[in-house]
Amino acid sequence: MIVRVGAGALALLHGANGAFMVIAPHEWWVRVPGVTDTGPFNSHFVADVGLAFLASAIGFAIFAARGEARLAGIVAAAFPALHAGLHVAEMLHGRSAHAGLELATIIAPALAGVLICWPWPGRAP
């Protein structure tokens, strides 16, 4: 049950972030700490990434609602995990001015998604 609750929480987190990115890309850009340090604002790019977060949210929601749909959870965890990997690589190369914030807001939720959705041996959904 805790696995499905965690998947539901990730669905809400990624859904809210993705919706914010799609509906108000410039507001998202200026309000999220560190984002303005990554380069010039591009509304199309922000909305594209927002749609990826919305797709992830849908997968987590399906897994939360139907625990036997673990594949939906694994696919949902893919984008956040790959996104976190990019941030880790940038941190290792000294290109991150906000490592603590990235750890809390990007890397930890991605790790949680993988841990929640991975089909660990002997664990029921």
pLDDT of residue 124: 63
Contact 16, 53 (CB under 8 A): no
120 phi-psi bin (left φ>0, alpha ψ -120 to 50, beta other): beta
65 Cβ partners below 8 Å, 6+ apart? 4
Query: Which pLDDT tens digit goes with each residue over 47-103?
Result: 999 999 999 999 999 999 987 778 888 889 999 999 999 999 999 998 887 888 889
pLDDT of residue 117: 86
Q: Which residue has the tokens 């509304």?
A: 43
Task: Look at residue 123 and tell me whether its pLDDT is greater than 70.
Answer: no
Distance from C-alpha of 39 to C-alpha of 77, rounded to nearest angstrom: 26
- Read off the pLDDT band of 41 (50, 70, 90): very high
123 phi-psi bin (left φ>0, alpha ψ -120 to 50, beta other): beta
